Amino acid sequence: MNLRCTRLRAKDFAVVSSGNRYEALIQFGESDVDAVILDLDGGGPESAVIAGEVKKLRPQVPVVVLVTKGDGRAQMSNTLADAVVVKSEEKTRLLRALAGVLRTS
């Protein structure tokens, strides 16, 4: 996560990271965020729960989900996320995915 945050900050994104579901939802409620990035590997099943809760609280906030290639959760993520990025392609696709969801939100 630290490398991801560093890359996003280098592109002038303000980044707020959290260590667990409860912290993430508190920060989401207290912050004016433009998008949410969830790592399904880092958060496990809780990431899917967070995506659903984010959409319930603020449906207009885009959610980008990171998945491992071939992970069955990618299918489930498509219903909760505005964009899904395969982690092995993250370096080139994450910024494009963010630009895309922010442009349409």
Say how many domains are in the chain: 1
Q: Residue 58 and residue 51: Cα distance in Å, rounded?
A: 10
Domain that holds residue 81: 2-104
Q: Which two tokens stand for residue 77?
A: 């993520």
CATH number at residue 10: 3.40.50.2300
Q: Residue 90 and residue 97: Cα distance in Å, rounded?
A: 9
What secondary structure does DSSP assign to 22-65, as a single string?
HHHHHHHHHS--S-EEEEHHHHTHHHHHHHHHHHHH-TTS-EEE
Per-residue pLDDT of the chain (105 residues; tens, 9 = 90+): 578 888 888 888 888 888 777 888 888 888 888 888 888 765 556 667 788 888 888 899 998 888 877 655 555 555 678 888 888 888 889 999 999 999 876
The radius of gyration of the chain's CA atoms, rounded to the nearest angstrom, is 13
